[in-house]
Structure 1
Amino acid sequence: MRFSLNDNLNNLNYFWQALKVDEQNGQFTHKSWPNKHWQADFNFPELVPSTNLPKNKVVSTVKELTNPEDLGLEIKNQLVIMNLKLAQLNELLNDSNHVNIVKLSVGDDISKWVKGCGEAFGYEIDSDIIEHLLNNENASIFAYMKDREIAGTAISYKTGNTLGIHQLGTAPNYRKMGVALSLMQHLLAQALTLKCELVSLQASKAGLHMYEKLGFKPLGKLTGYSSF
């Protein structure tokens, strides 16, 4: 399990590094969205007291602090680290809705994607970061289109034999319509095409049931801490 956990975190580490970062003493900080601060191994950085933390950033770590308030910290979010070995894929891939899924290319107007992704997650996405990511050969940015609107978004990022899934979300007006599942099936098909062995993600509670149904297995938790 440790090997698979490392693959998951390695993918997340390199994906986040692809989103414009500053690096100092083995620690990384985003210049803007998604506003994370972390170490490559996702252990808790030695930045006590919390006044030393970068302003308006969330420290992401696999370590669950017993008393984070003693360090001037509070839990901002907590995600379940999950992997799927493609050899153990439970759900048959259904291509029927994939005609609605488009892959963005360099030069495309990304404004609708940025707006749709922001609506899906409830925060503002930096369009410059997405524009930058389009030039990364390891990244693929997808949109689920419905009535010429962005109904869902997803990003895949390849590291070695692992395909990581990021920013998988559904716009509020299109939830409970199978958008997320169609995107997932498309991403799993992409992983098979790329001959990946593992698909990784970090799941919120909202997506857990779907991921478990597809065969993803939990490996641990990724906790985000912010100062108060």
Structure 2
Amino acid sequence: MKNSELIQANIKNLTSLWKTAGIPFDSYVKGSDFDYCLVPNSDWPNRLWFNGEIKNEKTVRKALDIMRSTSTDLVLPVWDIDDSDGYHEQLEANGCTEQFELLGMSLELADPFEEQGRLDIQLVSSEEKAKSWAEIYPEAFGYRISPEILLKTFGDINFYLASYQGQPVGTAIQFNTANVSGIHGMGVIPEMRRRGFAGKIMKHLLNQAIETGKDYATLQASDMGKGLYVKLGFEEQFSLKHYGLESGK
């Protein structure tokens, strides 16, 4: 797959994940210029994203009107795959501020990774496990994902709970589109970091992708996780900046 095609596949996996999470709640709205979804009692996905290039300032204002009208904050992601400086200027001129940035990365899958014991990684398939997953997720990431999302998307999105000596320590989300396996929400609670657990979770997910015949794995990395992903063979593709409305705008 050409690099440009792989970038689009990475973005498609991410936006399809948001869409899939929102549909069971009747909260996914598709538009000509942008889509958005807003799940109640959850901080995620709660995204508004443009379909292709931001055409003009009118499109930006229309999107921001939607963001201002919601009772829960929406986050607006912009991927830097072309000359997007103008996009950022338009957003900032209309009351947005950059909140955080992630790095789009991909890996061509080949041989399975060696997995060693000590960590129990299970697919969430019960209400009890969904609640445990949702309880520790904010410890790793600082925001909430409702357990209702896990329960209502069972079979469409794979949520994994990692436990050590019977105690939940980490989470992960795996979502497949075409020949791509997207890895999302992979984190370990702070007190259990630096024990190699993140690497074990990643190898398990990558092996799952290989077993299901996927050709590529994609993700969006924070600065904290980038080193691990590079070590596993992932390559940088694009930056993904996330915007929110300034207070009072």
TM-score normalised according to structure 1 size: 0.89
**Distance in 2, Cα, partners of 1:190 & 1:53:** 38
User: Does residue 35 of structure 1 match 2:52?
Assistant: no
Q: Which amino acid aligns with 1:22?
A: Y
- What residue is the counterpart of 2:77 in the other structure? 60
| Cα offset, 1:31, TM superposition | 1.8
User: Does residue 22 of structure 1 match 2:28?
Assistant: yes
**Distance in 2, Cα, partners of 1:194 & 1:98:** 24
**Distance in 2, Cα, partners of 1:209 & 1:168:** 14
Please tell me whether the aligned partners of residues 49 and 72 of structure 1 are also in contact (alpha carbons under 8 angstroms).
Answer: no
Structure 2 counterpart of 1:86, from 106, 109, 115: 109
Percent of aligned positions that are identical: 26
**Distance in 2, Cα, partners of 1:101 & 1:170:** 12
User: Does residue 116 of structure 1 match 2:116?
Assistant: no
User: Does residue 134 of structure 1 match 2:127?
Assistant: no
Bigger mean CA offset, 32-41 vs 46-55: 46-55
**Distance in 1, Cα, partners of 2:54 & 2:186:** 26
More helix by share: 2
Please tell me whether the aligned partners of residues 83 and 216 of structure 1 are also in contact (alpha carbons under 8 angstroms).
Answer: yes
Bigger mean CA offset, 7-16 vs 49-58: 49-58
User: Does residue 12 of structure 1 match 2:18?
Assistant: no
Please tell me whether the aligned partners of residues 73 and 225 of structure 1 are also in contact (alpha carbons under 8 angstroms).
Answer: yes
- What residue is the counterpart of 2:208 in the other structure? 190
Please tell me whether the aligned partners of residues 74 and 244 of structure 2 are also in contact (alpha carbons under 8 angstroms).
Answer: yes
SS in 2 for 1:189: helix
Please tell me whether the aligned partners of residues 172 and 186 of structure 2 are also in contact (alpha carbons under 8 angstroms).
Answer: yes
Q: What whole-Å deviation, never above 9, does each CA across 1:4-41 have from its counterpart, x for those lacking one?
A: 10110111111111111421424322222221111344
**Distance in 2, Cα, partners of 1:58 & 1:44:** 16
Change (3 A) 1:224 1:110: same
Q: What whole-Å deviation, never above 9, does each CA across 1:99-158 have from its counterpart, x for those lacking one?
A: 51111115554111101112110112212112112242xx22111101322111001011
Bigger mean CA offset, 43-52 vs 181-190: 43-52
**Distance in 2, Cα, partners of 1:98 & 1:10:** 34
Q: Which amino acid aligns with 2:93?
A: D
| Cα offset, 1:74, TM superposition | 0.4
Please tell me whether the aligned partners of residues 106 and 135 of structure 1 are also in contact (alpha carbons under 8 angstroms).
Answer: no
| Cα offset, 1:179, TM superposition | 1.1
| Cα offset, 1:47, TM superposition | 2.5
1:44-55 alignment, distance < 5 Å: 44=54, 46-48=59-61, 51-54=64-67, 55=70
Please tell me whether the aligned partners of residues 156 and 164 of structure 1 are also in contact (alpha carbons under 8 angstroms).
Answer: yes
| Alignment gaps of 5+ in structure 2 | none
| Alignment gaps of 5+ in structure 1 | none
Query: How many aligned residue pairs are there?
Result: 222
Change (3 A) 1:25 1:173: same
Q: Which amino acid aligns with 2:65?
A: N
1:99-114 alignment, distance < 5 Å: 100-114=120-134
| Cα offset, 1:224, TM superposition | 0.8
Please tell me whether the aligned partners of residues 181 and 209 of structure 2 are also in contact (alpha carbons under 8 angstroms).
Answer: yes
TM-score normalised according to structure 2 size: 0.82
Q: Which amino acid aligns with 1:197?
A: D
Q: Which amino acid aligns with 1:117?
A: Y
